[in-house]
Amino acid sequence: MAGTRVDRRVERGNESRRLVLGHAAKVASVEGLEGLSLGRLAGELGLSKSGVFALFGAKEELQLATVRAAAEVYVEHVVRPALRAPAGLGRVWRLCQSWLAYSEQRVFPGGCFFYAVAAEFDAREGAVRDAIARAQADWVRFVEQTITEALDLGEAKRDTDVPQLAFEVIALLEAANGLSLLHGDPDCYRRAATAVLSRLRAVATDPSALPAVP
């Protein structure tokens, strides 16, 4: 019986942790990670302040846990949908589509979580900045890997500059996210998709294998 009680406490603690982190990521996407506080989150979620402090202990720990939780959401909405497509330029295109949908559908109220917190911490030092930088670097590597797969399969031209193409594609996605937030103009997503597709068709050995328009 004692073991059962312990298991239930652990389960309740895990549920509370997931609840807090889910809410924290949404808040941070709008107000930044510095906008988080254990007391605020406890109050907004109707949890005891002492219970939330017991889960995280310090603000930096909460911020780091929020970055990790947001990364899991990012993988679920951006990476996994792309991996369902066969390797090649079609997967690169699917990856871009899923990223634009993730931003446009406001999975996080402030658009892309990492776009928001990178701007907040890019000129700082410390563990939180390092965690954000690692997450962003992982994303760039994944985009480059996906393009490289297309190159290895012969779907992209042999002279394709993989890091350059990845840089351009990511820049277009982030531009749509930022402009849509600032101006409330959803047409930014169509324009970004058109531009990404144009770049992919330019490097494709068979452009007809990709759609002509988004």
**CA atoms of 163 and 131, how far apart (whole Å):** 22
**CA atoms of 52 and 38, how far apart (whole Å):** 6
- pLDDT tens digits for the chain (214 residues)? 545 554 666 677 688 899 999 999 999 999 999 999 999 999 999 988 888 888 898 899 999 999 999 999 999 999 999 999 999 999 999 999 999 999 999 999 999 999 999 999 999 999 999 999 999 999 999 999 999 999 999 999 999 999 999 999 999 999 999 999 999 999 999 999 999 999 999 999 999 999 988 9
Instruction: Supply φ then ψ for residue 68, to 5 degrees.
Output: -65, -40
CB atoms within 10 A of CB 20: 25
DSSP one-letter code for 209? G
Q: Please, what are the domains in the chain?
A: 63-208 (1.10.357.10)
Q: What pLDDT was estimated at residue 7?
A: 63
Q: What pLDDT was estimated at residue 127?
A: 97
**CA atoms of 177 and 192, how far apart (whole Å):** 9
**CA atoms of 79 and 103, how far apart (whole Å):** 13
Coil, strand or helix at 204 = strand
Of the candidates 105, 78, 82, the residue with the CA atom closest to the CA atom of residue 93? 82
Please state, in angstroms and as integers, the Cα–Cα distance from residue 38 to each residue in 1, 34, 54, 95, following that order. 32, 11, 10, 35
**CA atoms of 188 and 97, how far apart (whole Å):** 13
Q: What pLDDT was estimated at residue 130?
A: 98
Q: Are 52 and 41 in contact (CB under 8 A)?
A: yes
**CA atoms of 107 and 3, how far apart (whole Å):** 38
